[in-house]
Amino acid sequence: MAPRVDPVQSDSVTPTRTRVVVVGGGIIGASTAFFLARKGVPVVLCEKGYIAGEQSSRNWGWCRKMGRDPREIPLSIEALRLWRELNTLTGAETGFRQSGILYLCKTADDVAKREAWLEQARPFQLDTRLISRDEVARVLPGLAGDWQGALYTPSDGRGEPQKATPAIAEAARHHGATILQQCAVRGIETQGGRVAAVVTERGRITCDSVVLAGGVWSRLFCGNLDLRLPQLKVMSSVMRTEALDGGPEASCSGFGFGLRKRLDGGYNVASWSGNVVDIVPDTLRFFGDFLPALRLQWRQMRLRIGGKFLEEWRVPRHWSLDAPSPFERVRTLDPEPYEPILRQARDSVTAAFPAFRDMKVAESWGGVIDVTPDAVPVISGVDTLPGFFIATGFTGHGFGIGPGAGRLMADLVTGDTPVVDPTAFRYSRFTDGSRPQPSPLA
Ligand SMILES: Cc1cc2nc3c(=O)[nH]c(=O)nc-3n(C[C@H](O)[C@H](O)[C@H](O)COP(=O)(O)OP(=O)(O)OC[C@H]3O[C@@H](n4cnc5c(N)ncnc54)[C@H](O)[C@@H]3O)c2cc1C
């Protein structure tokens, strides 16, 4: 079942000309449109379904610097700075609370792995530290079981996925952006080798630049432009409880569960493991790119071969722009959650927090995550197609970094000094023979 998302008003008229078209109304597209509009740049945001319909409303709601690949830490610092002022910037409730995040450690090996990450992150001077079991008990009252300690970042926090992206999109509108929902972008027209226009299902929009923030759809969109974007899909499951007393304010993950308190007093509960990977034609095409990630992550994945292989095989890889495109066939990806992993998460959270014993599950859902071979996003222009920019592949941690990524993308499009060094996010790392690798500690 799709989680309920705050509605966003659509504009009724499709402009025929603008400066920038943003493809995709998740947190990345909405934040990009917001920061462009704030700079006074004319921008149109096109979403094939509704704002935040896919990953951006289905995630846990963690906003963290902790545990990230060092390549992402400077951008995550900027993102957390923005989250703290996001209610003021948008004039709406985004749900952000600086309530801290903990990774609980069960074994000495867990502690050693967290220590190694902390060492790697030292140059960034975060407030992250390893805390003892006594301090864990103070930060997480009600925690049961035998824990060695935890990695803890008091300045990390939580946002409300069903509210934040709609708030950012409405704020973009307030600053002059046009928001078009139920408006798939079929593709791009070029002139003299650079971007000239997009063709949408509601007509053509002439523009100077296009930002692709299409989540799991970005690889398909790029394929039609003959651009190779190695990106695969992973399905993850979440449940929402009704309001309950005695649970923690801080978000935490432990053995087999992760949780985050919601504004309504309930919790989002899920698990790091049990992510479902359907074997599809792209799995074979990109096998070499993803081998290092697979070696690190296979224990947390359930590989599945079934109907999806044929389903994706039948999706055209090239299409003309004057007929309905694959983006009009699936307005909002809404996969069934994987119940066995939710049952396991429920058992684990109940063992850790007895307050969850009587928890009532109000709803559960699946969400499809867009992953890159090095688990770092692409936030970049494309050298071979001037005017085309990509912000995608956030690999399961794009909600927390989303406002920062939108700000960085807006800087790149306008040619302003980028808020952080964008080199690590360049698209060309997948085309220049760099063979980018995931961080083993993130
Ligand atoms: C279960 C789960 C838990 C997660 N937990 C966390 C977490 O706790 N913290 C965290 O930081 N991150 C988390 N994430 C990851 C985070 O949700 C994503 O990284 C982030 O939302 C990505 O945002 P996006 O805008 O790139 O993609 P999306 O939110 O998927 O948005 C892309 C949008 O583009 C639209 N689109 C695609 N193609 C077209 C087209 N041609 N025309 C028009 N529209 C198009 C789609 O309809 C979609 O709405 C989690 C994700 C999941 C699924």
pLDDT of residue 300: 82
Q: Any bridge partners for residue 190, and if so which? A: 195
Which one, of 17, 43, 8, 23, lies nearest residue 176 by Cα? 43
Q: CA separation (Å) from 218 to 49, 372, 406, 418?
A: 15, 11, 16, 23
The atom number, within ligand 1, closest to the CA of 30 reads: 25
At residue 297, the pLDDT reads: 85
Centre of ligand 1 to C-alpha 116, Å, is 30
Instruction: State the DSSP H helix or E strand holding residue 228, giving kind and residue range, or none if neither.
Output: none
Determine the Cα–Cα distance for residues 290 and 375; give it in Å rounded to an integer: 10
32-72 residue pLDDT tens: 999 999 999 999 999 999 999 999 999 999 999 999 999 99
- How far is the CA of 417 from the CAs of 71, 317, 409, in angstroms? 18, 36, 11
> Residues 134-152: what's their mean pLDDT?
96
Name the residue among 17, 40, 19, 43 with its Cα closest to residue 32. 43
- Amino acid, res. 161: P
By the 8 A CB rule, do 30 and 165 touch? yes
**Distance, CA 402 to ligand 1 centroid (Å)?**
10
Residue (of 82, 364, 95, 73) closest to 235 by Cα position: 364
Helix/strand/coil percentages in the chain, nearest 5: 35, 25, 40
In the predicted model, is pLDDT for residue 5 greater than 90?
yes
Q: What is the mean pLDDT of the chain?
A: 97
Ligand 1 geometric centre to CA of 168 (Å)? 14
DSSP 245: S
Interval 363-416: pLDDT, tens: 999 999 999 999 999 999 999 999 999 999 999 999 999 999 999 999 999 999
Query: CA 186, 172, 35, 233: dihedral to nearest 10 degrees?
Result: -40
pLDDT tens per residue across span 185-235: 999 999 999 999 999 999 999 999 999 999 999 999 999 999 999 999 999
pLDDT value of residue 273 = 84
Query: Rg of the chain's alpha carbons, rounded to an integer?
Result: 21
Closest CA to 185 of 40, 313, 20: 20
132's CB contacts (< 8 A; 6+ apart) are 149
Ligand 1 pocket test: which of 34, 35, 45, 56 has the largest number of ligand atoms within 8 Å of its C-beta?
A: 56
User: Which tokens go with 82?
Assistant: 């923005």
Q: Which residue has the higher pLDDT, 120 or 435?
A: 120
* Any atom of ligand 1 within 6 Å of the Cβ of 390: no
Report whether residue 53 contacts ligand 1, using a CB cutoff of 6 Å. yes
Question: What's the pLDDT score for residue 139?
Answer: 97
Q: Cβ(157) to ligand 1 under 6 A?
A: no
Q: At what angle do helices 27-38 and 398-414 cross, to 10 degrees?
A: 40
Residue 26 structure tokens: 């998740």
Per the CB < 8 A criterion, the answer to whether 30 and 342 are in contact is: no
Residue 85 has pLDDT above 90, yes or no: yes
Q: How far is the CA of 28 from the centre of ligand 1 (A)?
A: 8
**355 C-alpha to center of ligand 1: Å?**
31
Does residue 286's CB lie within 6 angstroms of at least one atom of ligand 1? Answer: no
The pLDDT value recorded for residue 272 is 84
| Residue 157 pLDDT exceeds 90 | yes
The rounded Å distance from CA 331 to ligand 1 centre is 14
Decide: 159 in ligand 1 pocket, CB within 6 A. no
Calculate how far, in angstroms, residue 115's C-alpha sits from the geometric centre of ligand 1.
Answer: 30
Residue 156's pLDDT band, with cuts at 50, 70 and 90, is: very high
Both structure tokens of 299:
């224990």
The CB of 221 under 6 Å from ligand 1? The reply is: yes
Which atom of ligand 1 is found nearest the CA of 27?
25
With a 6 A CB cut-off, is 48 part of the ligand 1 pocket? yes
The stretch 172-180 carries a mean pLDDT of 98
pLDDT per position as a tens digit, 262-315: 999 999 999 988 899 999 999 999 999 999 999 988 888 899 999 999 999 999
Query: For residue 198, how far is its CA from the centre of ligand 1 (angstroms)?
Result: 21
Residue 337 near ligand 1, beta carbon < 6 Å: no
Rounded Cα–Cα distance for residues 313 and 282 (Å): 9
pTM metric for this prediction? 0.98
Exposed, middle or buried: residue 317 (CB in 10 Å: 0-12, 13-18, 19+)?
A: exposed
Could you report the per-residue pLDDT of 306-315, keeping only the tens digit for each? Answer: 999 999 999 9
**Average pLDDT, stretch 61-90?**
98
| Whole-number percent of the chain with pLDDT over 90 | 95
